[in-house]
Structure 1
Amino acid sequence: MAVRELCLIDKDISSLLEVPLNPSISSLNLHCNRLTKIEGLTTAWHIRHLDLSSNHICRIEGLASLSSLRTLNLSCNLITKVEGKLDNCVFTYCSVLSGLLYLHGAEYKLKYLQLHSNCLDSMNHLLQCMVGMQNLKDVTLSKDGAQNPVCSLPGYREMVLQSLHQVTTLDGVDRIGNPSPLAEDSPMDVPGLEDFLEFLISSDTSVNEELVNCFYDTVPTGDGFKTNSAVPSVIHKAKRDTDPTSESECDSGKENQRHSRILSHLRGSAGKKLTKDTKPKQSDCACVYMQAIVEERDQERERRWKAEQAAKRLSEQVKNLQTRASEEKDLQSLALHTTDRLKEMLLKERSDRAALQTRLQELEERYRSTLEQLEQVHNREDQHKKALRSLEDSMTKAEALRVQQHAEEMKRTRELENKASAIKREVEILRASARQHKEKMQQLHELLTSREEMHRKELATWLLPGGTEFKEAVAKEVVVIEQRFAQKQTDLEQKISDARRQYAALEDEFRMALTIEAKRFSEVKEGFDQVSAELLDVKSSLSLSQQKEKQSASLVQELTAMVKEQKTRIAELLKAKREAAAEFKTRVHSLESKLEDDKRLNLQVELLKKDKSKLLSQLTAQESVIDGLRAERKIWGQELALQGASLAQDRGRLEARIEVLLGELESQKKQNERDNDALRIKAKIVDDQTETIRKLKEALLERDEQIRKLRDENVQDQRKLKQQLEEEMASAVELRDTVEHMSLFERVYADVSQASSKKWQEKAELLNRLESQVKRMKEGFDSKERALIEEKDKASQAHRAAVEKLHSVDDAFRRQLESLQASHQAEILSLANDKQKQIEKANQKVLQVEEEMRQLLEETESNKRVMEEKMRRLTQVLKDF
């Protein structure tokens, strides 16, 4: 059901764009905020009542789209100029009314305009801005001492009323000078009553009796007989509570005195006439005249007795009417009391409804916050999983790099071994060549020795050694041979030195290769040690991450269970609140119908008061008629004493007048009987309505009892749920406080935020603990790494066994990783399926709840239509009455 009223008092709102406005909103209250500009109201074009008081607004703007706006409250702002469309603007110090020029024409429905307590000082400007507002009826420029400077001008009221013909009321006083009712009393200006105006049907179609205006005509006579001018004053000063018997006695005594005076006067006049005229004629005329006077006196007494009887009856009727009026007053007071009670109950229900709506919004916000926190936890879990996956990927990459480095090192070692073997072979070849060169040198020495011997033998055979020629030839040959030998020896020495140099370079290269191999072996060993340490760290971190994952999975399961329970409880609470809201709505409708009935009763009571006043005016008129008749009778008696001859002529006229008055009395009696019948019918209607009110009160009491029973059942259900929660969550020590807070929250509707905050604080502490544990483990891993680096030199002897173990561990680790990845993927798939199922179930529940809400809305609409039909029938029946 769409929200019609939005109340955001003191919410620290700085812009209207922050407020989510629904197009169906009819009342918006933004009192005491930090608004500086009127904007963002184009979507909410159904707003009728807008309260922007106690803000920082400097200019009236942004109201062009609000075609349904009836009330605008801009009190306590910073406005100095009225611009734009407005209906009611109070407590703003205005000096210029140029914005009212846009409201000229018959299409604008502005009727009431209050401009008191401002700075308007120009009469011409005021009249120019208001002359085109055709529907303007009530203008207030001065109220309770708060006025404008223009009000102090001479002839201010006459100038305004003469220039503004459409204005009927100025400063709370109409054109005649009578005080007019306040415009704020109009039910149209009360926020929230727009939807119920169709039920405010006035019972103005009752019988309207015409006021009987009694005018007394003067009785014309031949001698210029005139009525007494005191008759109208007697009409206005008629006595209501006088005793008719004493008045009749006094009147009878006065009449007797008047008749005795008339007789004495007649006797005196007759004696004088007897002395003048003849005695027999005078005595006959006197006797006839006396008999006529006596008969007339008897008739007058008889009429007076009838008038006294009628006066008694009228006094009794007046007493009855007074008693009925007192009863009607009691009924009216009772009806007013019931209406006050109903109004108080309605206001209380509205406040309860607003409180429930605010609590429901708080619960929804808390539920959203819990959902957001759950999403954050899921995101953190996903981040941890991503970190695990990245660690696993880095482990696999590190292992692949290690295997590649090991393979490269093995290749390098093989290449170096091959190079070393080739160098060894070259060295052996060089050694063999050196040996061959030595052997050749020996052979050459042997050849030289043999050739020397041969030469000696030849010399011995050829020449004598003591000859000069021999000596010269020998010296020459020796020099040549020595030169050749020296050259050969130098060549051989160079070759030997070159071979030695090459051997030394090969030895240096071999030594360098051995040192590089040793370095590479040490680096490989260090890398192996690091990788083994990292493997141990990764294994420990993997075990810890598995434990954390298990803990997080258990936490997630517990959280999902808690969320499910909270969802079910929230759904139950929402159901209960919706049912309570539906009941409140029905109660509000019933109370409003009762208010309408009470208003109709008040209208009927007012009509009865009017009828009573009419009857009282008729009674006073009749009393004044009686008093006038008495005065006329007195005047007639006096005139009879003076004008005896004209009395016979006026007798017929008086009798006709008396008959007319008797006819009027009979008609008045009939009218009184009709009024009495109407009063009886209305009293019957009032009794029926009081009976219906009593029945409605009984129904309200029964409903209150049912609501109390339902609340008791809800309390019992909550206690049962609390016991079940305590039994189920007995093992979870950390969640006991939250469960207790939740159980208390179901009673008090206030401690959920504390419980949820505590719960999430505990979870944050758990996460902080986990992070601290990870840091500690990292530090431990670093210390272990340092220890392993120190033990690196000791583990160099077990290289081959370690390599074989590394291969086996590598294969086992890969298998474990593959199995873990497969199990993680299976768990993730199962969790995703479970989550999808839960989401589908939640969606189904949401669809069910929406279907139930639609059914409830349809039922409420049908009930509303039925109630409207009933109210129409009742109004039709009341109209018929």
Structure 2
Amino acid sequence: RTQQSKRQQQEVVKRPGGARGFKADPTEASELSYIDCGVGRLLDLPLHDRLSVLNCHCNRIEALAGLDRAPNLRHLDLSSNRISRISDLDCLASLRTLNLAGNRLAKVEGLAGLKSLVRINLSYNAIRDVAGFAEMRGPAYRLTCIELHGNQIRAVSQLTKSLRQCRNLRHLTLSLASADNPACRQRDYRRQLLAGLPQLDSLDQLDRQGDRAAVEVLADVPGLEEFLEFLGSSSAATDAGGGGNEDESKSRRLPTPKIDAAYKRFRSRRPAGELDDDGVDDNHGADADERRSGEGDEAGKADGEKAYRERLEQLERRLEQLAEGGAAPRAEQEEDNKQLEAKSARGQQKSTKHRQPQGDSATKKDDKGGSSGSGAATASATAGAVNLAVTGQPAAAQKRGESLTYGELLRELDLERERRWKSEAACRRLAEHAQLLQAQSREDAAVRAAAVDAAEKLKSTAADEREMRESAEARAAKAEADGAAAESARVEAERRVEEMRAGLERLRRAASGEERRRAQSAAEAEKRAARAEVEAATQRDQAERLGESLRQAEHLLAERERDFQHQLAGCYRLGSPELESLVAKEADRERRCAAQAIRRLEERLAEAGERYRALEDEFRLALRLQAQSEEQLKRQAAEATEEAAGLRELYQAARGREAEREKLLAELSQLAKEQKIKLETAAKTRQEEIKAQKARDQKQEEQLEDARRRLTDMESLRKENKRLTAQLAAQDSLIEGLRAEKRLWADELAQQGSALAQDRGRLESRVELLQSEVASLKRQLEQETDALRIKTKVAEDLLDTVRKLKDSLAEKDAAVKRVQEEGIERTRQLEEQLQLETESRRDAEDQVKALTERKDELKQQVEELTDRCQRAERNAAQLTSRWRDKSDQISRMEAQVEQLRSEFERREAELRAERDKSAAAATAATEQLRTADDAFRAQLDAQQTGHRRQVEQLERQLAKARSDADSRVAEVEEEMRQLLKDTEAQKQRLEAKVRQLTSAFNQVAQDLAESALR
């Protein structure tokens, strides 16, 4: 369709005469047009049940709600709106055309109720899913044409599956000009679609042979409903060949059973001897009548119009009146019949030539042949009809009746034939003009669409390039900001490394202090061990002195016993009760004292052993804790070494990436500058090309307009020539062919019964005027013939001029096509360059993104290292606290050793006191024993022997306890020496690791300083 101009609300209505006009009341209009009126909802429009056409192109409609108020709608145009979903169309059962192009549709749906839909236009949307067409399956749906170009359909298989059940689908458009679908770029998509949809006649406006196919259907154009009958008859006449006029005359015959019966009565009343040369014509007419009567019977059952019946009854009454009249003698009419046959044949040929539709030369030749044949058959049938006369009537009366009837019929038929010819010519001109307008509109729309598409593509390309340039600048700025952030992060990392180095220095100082404290504690332990050794030697000397004093005491005791024995000589006798009781008492007391002394010594030894074992366990626990702490320090030192190595590698990698990023940023900046220069050059070149193309298009449009004006003049001259020729032929054959064409005119009169009843009066007056106009027309014929010759010459000159213009237009079209192809090629090259630059920029963006991710990783690693340093500091603090605890434990152990030493001295003093007490008691006993009897000596010797054994046992136990104490002291000393050696070795290893860490951090700091200087 042609593009309509912007206008305000217009309501188009149909008047009774068939013309269209505007009416102020929209509730009575059959057509409504709201083009670019800012309509937002269909509910705001005055829709009603008499509305058949609704055009709401270029508005702001978002939904289809509200169409249920116009159930008889046949044509609906909602293109260039904001509709996103197809719905609420089930109420439009009579809808034939639906235009939803240029909306926001993504899916085809909601078409199940549109069984009368013939054409649907869904182009220039965002459709991906066409499964909604599967609902229109079966022969009940009349969908013939689908337009889907300019969408996003990707799968050919889905499209084939959805449209396979559309039985009446004939035309499918997926690609038109530069608007297509992604599926159209697939290989052999046309072959797949044509194979999967066998009902298709054309795909993308190309038939199955690849030729251009016409898709326009005049029945779907709003406003042509009243002209479809004439358009169909003209097209049928154009497509028919040879004997098409006979078939057309048969198909146009109306049911006339009474006329056929009257005609049979005429034939039955005709004498048999009258059948001579025209008998073949009578048989032919009879066969035709039989065929016509059969067809009339079949069609008469379906035709019930009152006007036709009344008209046919009038014609039957006239034929009965003619039948009741007498038949003229055959001798009078033979000559007239011969003349009529010859004249009617010539007139039929001319009139048939006049009624033939305008077509190509081959069609005209065929139509002429068919017309001549049908004219001959009609002439013979008419001659046979004329020969049917009733005998017994006067010739004059018959001639008068025939003249009256024939005059009326001639006037009616002439007027009706002229009206029919004018209507057919008008319909043909209208159809040709409509086709021409459609072709021009399609060409103009294609040119405008191509220009708009090219402009849109150029605009989109420029906008994309501008966006890409802005995005590149933004990314460059972002990269610079990221570089600054990375630099600040690097400075922060250096600061943290310095802090870590200071922390390590503090840790080293703390470790050296801890080592000094350990050395001091070890020296103090050695001193305490030396003091313990001295004390043990002192105790050994004291034990030796005690043994010596014990031996002296025994010697003294022996001497005193001897003295006592001497003294006993003058004391009580052995065996005396007094002596025995005294000895028994003393012995019991001594036994008790010795047992108590032995128990006390055993308890003291057991307590000393338990304390020694507890002290030994505490020493072992302290050594185990020391070993664990040393192992933990070793592991931490190893982890710190590995972290330092990893940090060094990461720093080297970061330096390399920083250099690559700076190089990449420089390349990107250079590339952006070059791209900017190229874009400016391309924009200037494109503007110059557009200006040149506009100038060429304007010049060509002017030349085309001039050519169109000349073609219009040429066409008007040609039509005037044809009209004059047809009028002359019609006037020449008007009177001569009246009698021969009686039957044919009668058939035509039956076809146009209602029109004949209305125009009867005008036909009578027209017949009278025609007789007076014949002479004037003959005089005008010569003048018009001369003018026609002159116009023909002018037309030939115009044809040559038009031919030359067409050649020049073809050359200019070829030049325009070449320029368009060059522009397309340049556009494609620019698009390729843009694509390459886009890919390079995308790679640069990927690199920048990778650098950013690497920077984030480095930040994360620095944070992890910071966390590790903090954990190392916490571990060092924990170690320091542990060393303090161990120092406290060692001090507690020293206090316990001091306490044990004081306890030992106290016990030694107690033993000495007890020894003194024992010596005093022994002295007292010696003094008492000196007074004992000699008899008591034997018992005393035995007691002394037992006491001596006990003392020896005590000495052995004491010596064993001393040796055990010495061995335990030696073991403790050995363990302490080994502990001191291990501590010294650990200290040396820790110092070596600290030196390595210090050198590594010095190297890292040196590298950072060098990179900062760079």
Q: Whose relative contact order is higher, 1 or 2, with alpha carbons under 8 Å and at least 6 apart? A: 2
Q: Could you tell me the TM-score, scaled by structure 1's length?
A: 0.37
The structure number with the bigger radius of gyration is 2
